[in-house]
Amino acid sequence: MADIATHDTDHATDHGHHSSTGLSNNKLAMWLFLGSECLLFGGLISTYMLYRGRVQNGPHPSQIYDIPFTSVSSFVLLMSSLTMVLAVSSAHRKDDSKTNLWLLITGLLGATFVGGQVYEFTTFYREGLGFTTSLFSSSFYSLTGFHGVHVSVGVIMLMSLMGIIKKGKITGDKAEVVELIGLYWHFVDVVWIIIFTLVYLIPS
Amino acid sequence: MSHSDSPHSSEKAMDIVNNVKSSSHRIRNSIASIFGIVLLAGCATNAPQDTWQPKGDNAQIINNLQWIIFPMAGVVGVLVFAFAAYTFWKFTDRGQPIPSQSHGKPIVEIILTIIPALILTVVGVFTFRGIFELANTEDTEMVINVTGQQWWWEYDYPVQTDQGITKPIISSGQLVIPVGTKVLLRETSRDVIHSYWIPALNGKKDAVPGRINLLRLQADKPGLFAGQCTEFCGLSHANMRMEAIALSKEDFAKWVAGQQKAYTSPAAGTPAKEGEAVFLNQCIRCHQVNGLKKADGTPAIAAPDENVYSGAAPNLSFLMSRNTFAGAKFDLLNKSCREDVWGASPETIGAKYLAGVSQSCLNETDLRAWLRNAPAMKPMYADPTKLEKSGGKYRGMPNLGLTETDIDKLVAYLLTLK
Amino acid sequence: MSTNELTLTPGNALDVAKGKLVVAPTQSLGVVRRPVNTTGWREWLFTVDHKKLGIMYGTVAFVFFIVGGVEALFIRLQLALPDGRILSADKYNQMFTMHATTMIFLFAMPMAAAFANYFLPLQIGARDVAFPRLNALSFWLFLTGGLILNASWFLGGAADGGWFMYAPNSGPVFSPTNGVDFWILGLQIAGIASLIGSINLIVTVLNMRAPGMTLMKMPVFTWMILVVQFLLVFSLPVITVALVLLMFQRSYGATFFDVSQGADPLLWQHLFWIFGHPEVYVLILPAFGIISEVLPTFSRKPLFGYPFVVFSGASIGLVGFGVWAHHMFASGLGPVSVAVFSMATMAIAIPTGVKIFNWLLTMWGGKIWYSAAMKFAIGLVILFTIGGLSGVTHAVAPSDTQQTDTYYIVAHFHYVLFGGMVFGLFSGFYYWWPKVFGKMLNEKLGSWNFWFMVIGMNLTFGPMHILGLQGQPRRMYVWTEARAGEGFFNLGFWNMVSSIGSFILAVGVLFFIINVIKTTRNPERAPLDPWDARTLEWITTSPPKVHNFDRIPVVHHLDEFFHRKYEEDEATHTMKQVATGEELVRAEEAAADADIHMPGPSYWPLLLSIGVGILGMGVIYGTPIMVVGALVVLFSSYGWVLEPSVPDAIDFDTPSTDGHTKEITPVG
């Protein structure tokens, strides 16, 4: 979790210390964290790929996926990455109100995506695909659920960031904080592109 | 803050250390003595699961590889230790000045990298060959289906007329095979992962539920080869054993014929007949005896899938044609008869094995104790009050609450299953 | 009192006469006022100082070492005789599961973290790690995970599926008690701790090195720790997935390892060992790093072939990700996979061999001083060689199908883990104790410690080679006479020898404990540089000041400290001492930096860990508890993020007027 509002974590970049990699401590840490997340989602995706065709009970993927619907919510998430970029550039220009505006829109788009997932899951559930129904269902919900939680945490971070910017409580490099959350947000988006392709688009 | 500076403290430390300056000698001596003990004192003789006493082709292939890699490792070890010991002795601090601060010699490094790489390449080539040799199943001559279950092994011989098997044979515990025959085990499990291992005949192969893994066994000469389950499978993993019995081709044919005999009910009025009734009352719920009929003349079919979580219990037809029970944890033979059979030479073991277990040879103590209270003899999950997680089904044989007279009768009956 | 506006003025100072300035926090911006204690138990509870955290890690890890050791002694008591009666089958299965889990996750990894925490910043010339509060969080999460894991002993039975916890045996039907659930949670929480710690240390090493310290001038210990952190970053998520899948199956009815639903049990094995194999390099590389400092110091020569040692460490880490299925040679992978992993496993022996040769060649031509630290370091070289050679015999896959799941494997990994890793750690104890505690561990007791451990270790694990090759499988609560062979030296004999050996080993460890107690009572202070060492962490007081270095050193050489003390005499090519460690530290004090800022203590790491612990227990004991835990986590997260920023007042500023440093004690 990025320390975003404190003094001590800017140890390397504060007071004119230079960092050997050229990346600030916070940014390097975020990249490493995202690196480990690659392996996390890699494990979940592998599990899904192994089990996607094992449908002892309940519906088969082809019977249940609503590709048009999921495409729309994927598009929403993709757009949120665009608005995130705009938020970061506003932060670089030190434009607090614009930053907050784009952060808000990003958060709302993200929340829409999550809302879409909730709707999708409840529909699937009513159509007979519960968490424990089959290996396919367990793997599907685990993978997409983990991703959904990541998006939700991202939305909470975005909203919190907005509040903190408004209250003027960020010390240190405000633009960097927005950038860090941006990195996380783009990662979550990229993972979704991979999931959407492997899970929904490629027939099992 | 202490005012002693480095040289002072170094001297002081040296004083203490001087007392153990002969450490270099002691290090070297103890290393040598440890190796000596291990190598020279040696090992057990006739360890039944010894991995260096191959008794068949597959184990021999592995043994050939062992004889390449182990001596090589040993030689490398000895060389390294010799160099180390010499270094410890020669370069002990005897007051010499601080040496020139050499940082290394790349050429030495490179040589010391290339030599192990070459050695390992040679080992690798032999290993590669061995892996594929052992994996070849094209020339299989006989197939046996092996199923692991907590905590015993079941063997199913499918019909193979060229081996004389005209009816499927189901047995457990002791796997009987003909000598000089390329036998292929098709392994699976009904519950958790087990592993089938008869060291004298081959390495081990896991029995994985939902999969079929292949293991080749071939014995050169008749004999009794011990094994154990070697993948941790729960409570009684330590008690899950088995043996492979290799018989000459003639003896194997006799064994097959014996396993395909029709069932003969004991004579009326004998204790064995009463035991049959006890069996039909209690044991038949899980254990099948081929050909056994109920009192009304209809076949008695065991239903272990209704009572046992993993779905099966050992088939007890011809129980006394084998000489272990309860997942080969206990012997059916008493001590002297066991020594006779287990220690028999390859020429005589066939006949001794085929003789089966007679009343005079029966290990009554263990068999009766088992019938009296199986869970007390072998840890299992058979307490009827604690079966919620397994849906009310047993994981192992329960205490049936048999009376001593019941047990008498049952033993008499079981002795007829030959 | 949260809107105090005390400012720093000399008029506020209470103890100016004693050279102490007392300051107070400025206005706090956050939820609660930040803790400011620097004395007493609260100091330890809220500290973010890497040195204190290192000591805490080390202490807790050592306690778990004893716990795991007692579990091992029970195992050996049970196996001393055939058909042992000391432990029931159920208890035995719990005992060996917890022995391994405790030793690996609660002793070895945290003890390496203890050394890394304490010495990594010192070795690179930094004042702390990149993220001090995250550092504290790592420690408290580790403690939480360890406590949850061991709580299982008292709450229905510990996990009993082996530390590798193969499915389906670890599933809800075959492991019906909560033991495995506690195991999952304990490991998940400890795993998060390690992951956070690894990110922290990588950033520290990459970004916070002293000026002039290029990567190839870093001490080998730092290098090995860096490689380990990368291994952790990429391997921990995989076991996280495995644990999550198992938890979902056990607690929420998912079917991931339910064969009747079509699951593949080998999925668990792959996921586990993709973590599990890099994990063993996580365990050994820190010990390799420690002895790479000790051996040169006590040979009075630099490490032979520094670039090769560094590069081989990195390649072991990298190739280590490609050999995992050598733990699965008997599981039915098929000959092609088996062949590939067999070859890769042989390949990894090569860089390992390079290290052994380099250590021996370091000593060659040296001036060897057999201190206790050196004895343990040499012990590692010899014992790890034995373990490594038996490892090469496993790499031959067909041979491994005879060896796997027998005591031969137990012998192998105890030689590399005990003879390797533990001996390396003990070497580190003796080497660095004077720096950390300002006292020297007694060398005579150190000798007794070493010899009892070496003899005990060889008597315990040496015979296991024979036991395994002659057919005794592992993970068995009893062994039988019937399978033990004949003759005086049958398996029964060697089992007894091994059990006796384990108690001799325990006595060895006892000598260490006695040594620590004796040293603590001994008022005699250690000299600043008792070993005439070579690396930066020795240009400090013993123990180092809270800010480590009065002046951040500028580095010109590998073994910078040694180069400041010695110069090569042109004529004789021997080394001449031009300065002592003491003199160098005094010089640094005299030239102290004017402006030193240190991070302040914090409640949030501790509180957040408690929240995570409650959350975890909720998985076992019900959703209401999870909700409570989640709320604590949320509250702590926000508190952390909004933490009062108390910059200058709490910082340690060293006036450089009179050449003596001044302690600043903030009021609480």
Residues B368-394 pLDDT 10s: 999 999 999 999 998 888 888 889 999
* pLDDT of B16 strictly over 70: no
Torsion of Cα atoms, B114 then B116 then B122 then B128, to 10°: -110
pLDDT tens digits, B49-102: 999 999 999 999 999 999 999 999 999 999 999 999 999 999 999 999 888 888
pLDDT tens digits, C630-646: 999 999 999 898 885 44
**Is the distance from CB of C120 to CB of C207 less than 8 angstroms?**
no
* Assembly ipTM: 0.90
* pLDDT of A92 strictly over 70: yes
CB contact under 8 A, C261 and A23: no
Contacts of B42 in chain C (CB under 8 A): 489
Q: Which of B47, B80, B112 is nearest residue C470 as measured by Cβ atoms? A: B47
Query: A residues 100-139 near C, CB within 8 Å?
Result: 131-132, 134-135, 138-139
Torsion of Cα atoms, A29 then A34 then A38 then A44, to 10°: 110
Residue of C nearest to A17 (CA): C208
**Is the distance from CB of C477 to CB of C93 less than 8 angstroms?**
yes
* pLDDT of C655 strictly over 50: no
Return d(Cα C411, Cα C383) in angstroms, integer: 11
Q: What average pLDDT does the structure give for chain A?
A: 89
For B52, the token pair is 């260096």
Q: Which of B123, B131, B213 is nearest residue C335 as measured by Cβ atoms? A: B131
C438 Cβ neighbours under 8 A, 6+ residues apart: C525, C526, C542, C543
**Is the distance from CB of C371 to CB of B13 less than 8 angstroms?**
yes
Q: What average pLDDT does the structure give for chain B?
A: 91
Contacts of C206 in chain A (CB under 8 A): 19-21, 28
Return d(Cα A194, Cα A46) in angstroms, integer: 12
Question: Phi and psi (nearest 5°) for A77?
Answer: -65, -40
Return d(Cα C231, Cα C212) in angstroms, integer: 27
Q: Which of B97, B234, B388 is nearest residue C169 as measured by Cβ atoms? A: B234
Place of tokens 């080679």: C465
Q: Is residue C403 part of a domain?
A: no
Query: C residues 128-167 near A, CB within 8 Å?
Result: 128, 130-134
Total structural domains within chain C = 2
| Residue of C27, C128, C207 best to disrupt the A interface, most CBs of A under 10 A | C207
pLDDT tens digits, B220-233: 999 999 999 999 99
Nearest CA-CA distance, residue B277 and chain C, Å: 34
Q: Given this model, what pLDDT does residue B287 score?
A: 97
**Banded pLDDT at C9 (limits 50, 70, 90):** very low
For C276, the token pair is 């599990």
Range of the domain at A101: 2-201
Nearest CA-CA distance, residue C582 and chain B, Å: 6
Q: Is C563 exposed, middle or buried (0-12, 13-18, 19+ CB in 10 A)?
A: middle
B123 Cβ under 8 Å from any chain C Cβ:
yes
pLDDT tens digits, C28-87: 345 566 666 667 888 899 999 999 999 999 999 999 999 999 999 999 999 999 999 999
Q: Given this model, what pLDDT does residue C34 score?
A: 67
Name the nearest CA neighbour of B342 among C479, C480, C482: C482
pLDDT tens digits, C104-142: 999 999 999 999 999 999 999 999 999 999 999 999 999
Name the nearest CA neighbour of B206 among C329, A95, C160, C376: C329
* pLDDT of A172 strictly over 80: no
Question: Phi and psi (nearest 5°) for B371?
Answer: -65, -30
Contacts of B47 in chain C (CB under 8 A): 470-471, 483-485, 490-491
Range of the domain at C535: 527-591
Distances in Å between the Cα of C624 and the Cα atoms of A145, B238, C409, C614, C628 are 21, 41, 45, 10, 6
For B322, the token pair is 């084998």
Contacts of C471 in chain B (CB under 8 A): 47-51, 199, 226, 228
CB contact under 8 A, C491 and B47: yes
Q: Is B312 exposed, middle or buried (0-12, 13-18, 19+ CB in 10 A)?
A: buried
Q: What average pLDDT does the structure give for chain C?
A: 90
pLDDT tens digits, C198-229: 999 999 999 999 999 999 999 999 999 999 99
Where in chain B are the domains? Answer: 57-84+102-135, 142-418
B292 Cβ neighbours under 8 A, 6+ residues apart: B263, B265, B276, B279, B280, B284, B299, B300
B264 Cβ under 8 Å from any chain C Cβ:
no
Chains in contact with C via at least 3 Cβ–Cβ pairs below 8 Å? A, B
Q: Is residue C331 part of a domain?
A: no
CB contact under 8 A, C203 and A32: yes
Q: Given this model, what pLDDT does residue C642 score?
A: 83
Strands B174-178 and B241-247: parallel
State mean pLDDT over B322-349. Answer: 95
Total structural domains within chain A = 1
* Chains B+C touching (3+ CB pairs under 8 Å): yes
CB contact under 8 A, C645 and A171: yes
Q: Which of C127, C233, C245 is nearest residue A35 as measured by Cβ atoms? A: C233
Q: What percent of chain C clears pLDDT 70, i.e. is strictly above it?
A: 91
**Beta bridge mates, B145:** B156, B186
**Banded pLDDT at B35 (limits 50, 70, 90):** low
Task: Say whether domain B142-418 belongs to CATH 3.40.50.300.
Answer: no
C637 Cβ under 8 Å from any chain A Cβ:
yes
Q: Given this model, what pLDDT does residue C661 score?
A: 36
Cis omega before residue C168 (within 30°)?
A: yes
Nearest CA-CA distance, residue A52 and chain C, Å: 11
DSSP code, position A201: I
CB contact under 8 A, C264 and A50: yes
**Is the distance from CB of C120 to CB of C205 less than 8 angstroms?**
yes
Q: Given this model, what pLDDT does residue A6 score?
A: 34
Q: Given this model, what pLDDT does residue C27 score?
A: 38
A-C contacts (CB, under 8 Å): 146
Name the nearest CA neighbour of C89 among A181, B137, B333, B233: B233
* pLDDT of C663 strictly over 70: no
Concatenating the DSSP letter of every residue in C401-442 gives: HHHTTBHHHHHHHHIIIIIIIIHHHHHHHHHHHHHHHSSPPP
Q: Given this model, what pLDDT does residue B9 score?
A: 44
Return d(Cα B278, Cα B402) in angstroms, integer: 9
Torsion of Cα atoms, B133 then B136 then B141 then B144, to 10°: 110
CB atoms within 10 A of CB B125: 11
CB contact under 8 A, B232 and C475: yes
Chains in contact with B via at least 3 Cβ–Cβ pairs below 8 Å? C
* pLDDT of A41 strictly over 80: yes
End-to-end CA distance of chain A: 36
Q: Given this model, what pLDDT does residue B24 score?
A: 53
Q: Which helix (H) or strand (E) holds B149?
A: strand B142-149
**Is the distance from CB of C272 to CB of C266 less than 8 angstroms?**
no
**Is the distance from CB of C557 to CB of C543 less than 8 angstroms?**
no
Q: Given this model, what pLDDT does residue A18 score?
A: 59
Q: Given this model, what pLDDT does residue A4 score?
A: 34
pLDDT tens digits, B235-284: 999 999 999 999 999 999 999 999 999 999 999 999 999 999 999 999 99
C496 Cβ neighbours under 8 A, 6+ residues apart: C80, C81
DSSP code, position B162: G
* Chains C+A touching (3+ CB pairs under 8 Å): yes
Looking at this protein, which amino acid is placed at residue A85? V
State mean pLDDT over B175-185. Answer: 97
R_g of chain A computed on alpha carbons: 19
Residue of A nearest to C262 (CA): A54
DSSP code, position C131: -
The enclosing domain of A7 has a CATH number of 1.20.120.80
Return d(Cα C588, Cα C412) in angstroms, integer: 47
